[in-house]
Amino acid sequence: MNSKIIIACVLMNLLLVLRPAMSAAPSCDAVITSFAPCLSYLKNVGYVPSTSCCDNIKVLDQRLPEKQDRKSVCQCIKLAIPIIGTVNNTRVQDVSNSCGSNLYEIPPISPDMNCDNVV
Ligand SMILES: *[C@@H]1O[C@H](CO)[C@@H](O)[C@H](O)[C@H]1NC(C)=O
């Protein structure tokens, strides 16, 4: 099966599931959309994050000067885990390095990730 189609399906489900939570975290929508092009890399497809993944992460990063905002991004990702499924956390850590310096580090993604530890 075409992995692009699978990922598109996953994302559509993701947006539907997260919709009720969006009022509490207004940026959730944008966060998930930003991560969309990164999902294939995070799921061990290919060897480097795509350009659109890096571009999105950089933009997202610039919008998160406040710790509270980074926390809510973490919470968005945590909510999305049941749909995203398992990701390669080596690659999660690697995305900021691969995409450029001075980026906000994404904490390891797991169902019990503690968003209070976001720095
Ligand atoms: C996770 O990604 C790293 C870096 O690409 C790779 O070396 C490693 O084999 C991957 N781990 C798994 C469990 O697929």
In a domain, 9, yes or no: no
In a domain, 72, yes or no: yes
In a domain, 106, yes or no: yes
**At 56, which CATH number?**
1.10.110.10
Residue 91: CB within 6 Å of ligand 1?
yes
Instruction: Mean pLDDT check: name the lowest of 36-40, 72-76, 97-101.
Output: 97-101
44: left (phi over 0), alpha (psi -120 to 50) or beta: left
Query: Containing domain of residue 44, as a range?
Result: 27-117
Number of compact structural domains in the chain: 1
In a domain, 20, yes or no: no
Question: Best of 41, 47, 91, 110 to mutate for ligand 1, by most ligand atoms within 8 A of CB?
Answer: 91
Please, are residues 83 and 15 in contact by the beta-carbon 8 Å criterion?
A: no
75, pLDDT greater than 60: yes
In a domain, 47, yes or no: yes
Give the per-residue pLDDT at 69.
84
25, pLDDT greater than 70: no
Q: Which of 4-8, 38-42, 63-67, 90-94 has the highest mean pLDDT?
A: 38-42
Tallying the residues shown for the chain, one arrives at 119
List alpha helices for 1-119, DSSP H: 3-18, 28-35, 39-42, 51-62, 67-84, 89-99
State the burial class of residue 32 (Cβ atoms within 10 Å of its Cβ: 0-12, 13-18, 19+). buried
CA of 90 relative to ligand 1 center, distance in Å: 6
Give the per-residue pLDDT at 14.
56
In a domain, 45, yes or no: yes
In a domain, 4, yes or no: no
